Amino acid sequence: MSVLSAKYMHDEAAAFAHVEAMLWADGPVCPHCGVVDSAYPLTGVRTKPSAKNPEGKERHGLWKCRECRKQFTVRKGTIFEESHLPLHLWLQAIHLMVSSKKGISSHQLHRVLGITYKSAWFLTHRIRECMRDGALAGFGGNGGIVEVDETFIGKEPGVKKAKNSRGGSHKMKMLTLLDRDTKRTKSIVVDDLTKATLIPILQENIAREAYVMTDEAKQYQNIGAGKVFDAHGWTNHSAGQYVDYDDAEIHTNTVEGFYSIFKRGMKGVYQHCGKQHLHRYAAEFDFRYNNRVANGVDDFERGQMALRGVVGKRLTYRQAY
């Protein structure tokens, strides 16, 4: 059976029940006073009559707290708050975003879900926030291998392409770490690729005992042998060497593979990405990569994981634009 045919994807009451089960494992949590499992459902409540709905619309998922006597729904305090879109459409959108390898554009979502482009745009950026994983433990613990690489994408705001330049100084820059044991990535948007910028980020995210793999770029020179990390291996890409001739473990091919998915997605789906949004796209691709089928996560479970990320990830229009 298709996940999209599940009742909570179409029925608003079922959508509320689904999200409540997901976020309130111990019973409803009152967002006003914080009390758990001391609220009762309010059924049959309708919104005020309007020209469009003379009888008012049914209010789904409404609860009343026994302690503070205030009303709430599970949308409160999550990315679903302040959005007038039905919850079941949110669930469809989350599923579409987590299950398509290269992502889904706001334009496509606008057509598929029959919502305005502006709503679709806002929706995709909020869902992307849910995929951000700030609490990733250090990569390369226990001496594991971490591949490090950078990529150029789009256009750096305010920087003109220099004549005859072959580098990427006029493009936006992203750094990606890939733990070869856990097969997880973490991508970070950076302003430049200097040693002063990159090394502190590596130190913040990679365990000291790690075995770090890079290319020959000079900002990565002298970071092994206990100076920054226990060990450092590199290959000489400019000389056409992608795997060390003596040690096949030394390469950054796995992270290059991640970049090829990212680039195909960004090219085909997200054509004009502003720098202020790039970190959310990066999080989206990390999320799908880290929770991919090869890591034992299917489309359904990936949707559930994104859903768990909805709490405390509100994004207002002001931040978004």
Chain positions contacting Zn ion, by CB under 5 A: 30, 32-33, 65, 67-68
Min. distance of Cβ 250 from Zn ion in angstroms? 58
Spatial CB neighbours of 103, under 8 Å, sequence gap ≥ 6: 97, 265, 269, 270, 281, 284, 285, 288
Is 75 or 232 the residue whose CB approaches Zn ion more closely?
Answer: 75
Min. distance of Cβ 68 from Zn ion in angstroms? 3
Distance from C-alpha of 162 to C-alpha of 180, rounded to nearest angstrom? 37
Find out whether 208 and 142 touch, Cβ atoms under 8 Å.
no
- What secondary structure does DSSP assign to 206-243, as a single string? B-TT-EEEEES-GGGTT-TTTTSSSEEEEE-GGGT--B
Min. distance of Cβ 185 from Zn ion in angstroms? 40
Distance from C-alpha of 10 to C-alpha of 186, rounded to nearest angstrom? 34
Distance from C-alpha of 55 to C-alpha of 251, rounded to nearest angstrom? 66
Distance from C-alpha of 126 to C-alpha of 131, rounded to nearest angstrom? 9
Distance from C-alpha of 161 to C-alpha of 174, rounded to nearest angstrom? 18
Min. distance of Cβ 167 from Zn ion in angstroms? 57
Is 76 or 171 the residue whose CB approaches Zn ion more closely?
Answer: 76
Min. distance of Cβ 67 from Zn ion in angstroms? 5
Is 68 or 85 the residue whose CB approaches Zn ion more closely?
Answer: 68
Is 76 or 275 the residue whose CB approaches Zn ion more closely?
Answer: 76
Find out whether 306 and 78 touch, Cβ atoms under 8 Å.
no
One-letter amino acid identity for 199?
I
Is 76 or 292 the residue whose CB approaches Zn ion more closely?
Answer: 76
Find out whether 32 and 68 touch, Cβ atoms under 8 Å.
yes
Min. distance of Cβ 43 from Zn ion in angstroms? 19
Max CA-CA distance within the chain?
77
Is 71 or 219 the residue whose CB approaches Zn ion more closely?
Answer: 71
Is 31 or 144 the residue whose CB approaches Zn ion more closely?
Answer: 31
Find out whether 135 and 312 touch, Cβ atoms under 8 Å.
no
Only one residue has tokens 């007038």, namely 84
Is 30 or 174 the residue whose CB approaches Zn ion more closely?
Answer: 30
Min. distance of Cβ 320 from Zn ion in angstroms? 30
Min. distance of Cβ 21 from Zn ion in angstroms? 20
